[in-house]
Amino acid sequence: MASDEAGNVVLVWSSKGTHGFSDDSDDDLFSLRSANHGATWFPMEEMTVSDGYASTDTYPSIATDRRGRWLTLWSGASSESGTMISTDAGATWTTRSALSSWIPYYSDTYLVAGKNGTWLGTYVATGSPDRVYSMVSRYDLNGPSGDSDEDGIANGVETTADSDHDGTPNYLDADSDGDWMSDVDEGVADGDSDGLPNYLDTDSDNDGIADGIEVEMGTDPYDALEVPQVPLSGVPVVLILIAVIGFVTVAKLQMRRA
């Protein structure tokens, strides 16, 4: 189990039971998640049954860096550890990837999130009663060094997360949040002070209108006071709203005078 300060809680476990899902006769991973400190839970999800691997998946562990990235690690009968990454608190996961080419069969796994996108995974398995095998792996989510997409934001800052779920990791994506504005134009500032840099925030001024739409309509995506006016039968919606508000105000004043 792992949790963050926002109230997200994610449970991951291994089971041979179907739990209402299809059964492929080996152990697979399942997950539960909550977005309100465990008060309510989303439906259970099966994580690995149809991932193309025939091996048994056991002894999972999960951790979060509390910056929006979650990693689960497990071992299996194929002597290969598996990992998957989530950037939305367990709602979706990346395709399974191998972390280590060999670990002891059915190893207990322990996972800790480090700094700057690094994670530490440990595997421990008992051989004979007097012997314990262990191996440690270091996993780096930052991607290669440099600035692969040449957007002025280092790979280590953007990381291998895929914020807009388009299949391209942020460090290779010219528009990481998919709001029709390039990361070069948005940059790392936080226009609405919500904790998300503009290049990851689809609405940088928090006015309810996507940045790309504001640019297309000619308003400032970083100024919440600038709202696009959408014509309706030749009359801007903003003017219609002002007229309606004014009418209601006059009606209230007349009622009070009466």
The whole-number pLDDT of residue 19 equals 58
Which of 69-83, 135-149, 243-257 reaches the highest mean pLDDT? 69-83
CATH number at 2-140: 2.120.10.10
pLDDT tens column, 187-218: 888 888 887 888 989 999 988 888 888 888 88
Q: How far apart are CA 146 and CA 131, in angstroms?
A: 43
For residue 32, count other CB atoms closer than 10 A to its CB: 17
Average pLDDT estimate for 90-97: 82
Indicate the domain borders of the chain: 2-140, 163-227, 230-258
The whole-number pLDDT of residue 117 equals 64
